[in-house]
Structure 1
Amino acid sequence: MIHEPDDLRKRTLEPDEGGGGSGTRPGLVTVHLGYRRTIQAKGSLMSRLFGALALSGVTLAALAVAPSASAQDDSQTRRSAATCYAKSCQGQDPQTTGCAADAFSPDTKYIDGRKLELRYSPTCRAAWGRISGGGQDYVSIHSSSGAEYWNSPVYHSYTAMVNDAGLIAWACTTVGADTCTHVY
């Protein structure tokens, strides 16, 4: 293994002035790559080469930092998939309107082996009640606007939606001692 002095291992870029007698031609750029290795090329060619390398590095860095188009599209798809918003969701089915796609349960109660949930869709700004784990149980959704919906336990384990934009909602069931979720 050849050990090169530190000053020879440094890579430098020097324009040749043309009068140096070092065997280089005028108008060329000399790139010192290390011990006894140099490259000579026209200045404009070298400028383009280093410019292209710098541009590709910036492009790769931008791609690594930018959120993927699919992540942005997914959020937009959820919004456009819902067919109602706030007041227009009142009395609608959360499944058929697409509001159930991004729903979460801000409150859940467990009663006699059943799970009572207050469901909320931020995309639709609407809430509904859902019950599971039992037979044909009743669940209701209530809004501070006075709206109230009950499920048909034979067909659904969830209620229609109430507008929740600027309002509060809570879900209740007849299981146990008429238990309700906290308001949201």
Structure 2
Amino acid sequence: MTASFVRRSYVVSAHAGVGGRVEPSFVEVEHGEQATFEFIADPGYRVTEVSGCPGHLADGTYTTGHITADCSVTATFRMILTAPESFTAEPGDRQVALSWDPVKGAEAYDVYHAREPFDPDNHSVYEGGTLTSGVTDIPHTVSFPTNGLIEDSLGTSSRMAFLRRSAGRSARSAIAF
């Protein structure tokens, strides 16, 4: 009796979405081996997710689990948002009009404010600390209650600290002070 064995091999293909590319586009591996792909982001983008064959993404390199059938992986890239620049604040009667340069790829902005310098991760523990998410209008007007927190709008006896950042579908930019 003679036994013969046939080695099984599989094709693992890779695809890159908008904002990057992949090398190589496919590999052939033996049963139980792993495949490795390099997902390279275009300038201003980053890899946010790889779907398809189970595996692990680290620093743009995706390594599949042990392959037992043909499969494919697809990378999703997202634009890296920058912090808004050229910030201005124009005081008014119990309000302030904030303006900044629009950020490419931003769908909205987060605007933080308080009556003292603050950490945006803990904005609510500071006097008057408030976060307004999903701001789409530039300039954006922030109104203040008439409960004595703002004595003379934003004149000489009152000070406010404002921070803002860009917000997109799956990312937020750094904070702009």
TM-score normalised by structure 1 residue count:
0.27
TM-score normalised by structure 2 residue count:
0.28
RCO (CA 8 Å, sep 6+): is it higher in 1 or 2?
2
Q: Which has the higher helix share?
A: 1
